[in-house]
């Protein structure tokens, strides 16, 4: 797993322009920026979407070492990648060793809440 340190310059939690409930963490890597998120949080597939959305929000808050979503902004975190290279998606986040030092991987969250045949 590749770790790239960056500062979360902005966040989004809400309904995007296609009417889908989603989230984003926008990383600034000092010369480049990239978003993590964009996953649909309100479609009922498998288990209850309300519970899965709450679990995602709580997991991200805990990994960021804050108590409120609004406090994620300006946090320095690791963005996690499967492999190195241009245009690779962020697959998770990790707290700094002297802060939360916790990890959130989107694939683990998806496997917990949704049937495997629906995960891409």
Which pairing describes strands 33-37 and 76-81: parallel, antiparallel, or unpaired?
A: unpaired
Tell which wins on pLDDT, 20 or 81.
81
Task: Look at residue 47 and tell me whether its pLDDT is greater than 70.
Answer: no
Is the pLDDT confidence value at 118 over 80?
no
Beta bridge partners of 37: 24
Residue 99's pLDDT band (cuts 50, 70, 90): confident
Q: Cα-flanking dihedrals φ and ψ of residue 76, to 5°?
A: -95, 125
The pLDDT, as a whole number, for residue 59 is 94
Cα 94 to its chain centre, rounded Å, is 10
- Average pLDDT in the 101-105 region? 93
Q: What share of the chain in percent tops pLDDT 70?
A: 89
CA distance linking residue 63 with residue 119, whole number of Å? 23
């Amino acid at each position: 797993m590749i770790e790239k340190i960056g500062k979360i310059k902005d966040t989004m939690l809400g309904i995007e322009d296609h009417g889908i409930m989603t989230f984003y963490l926008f990383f600034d890597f000092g010369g480049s920026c990239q978003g993590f998120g964009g996953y649909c949080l309100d479609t009922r597939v498998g288990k209850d979407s309300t519970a899965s959305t709450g679990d995602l929000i709580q997991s991200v808050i805990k990994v960021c070492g804050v108590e409120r979503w609004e406090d994620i902004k300006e946090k320095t975190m690791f963005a996690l990648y499967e492999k190195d290279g241009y245009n690779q998606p962020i697959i998770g986040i990790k707290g700094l060793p002297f802060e939360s030092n916790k990890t959130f991987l989107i694939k683990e969250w998806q496997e917990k809440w949704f049937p495997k045949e629906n995960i891409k």
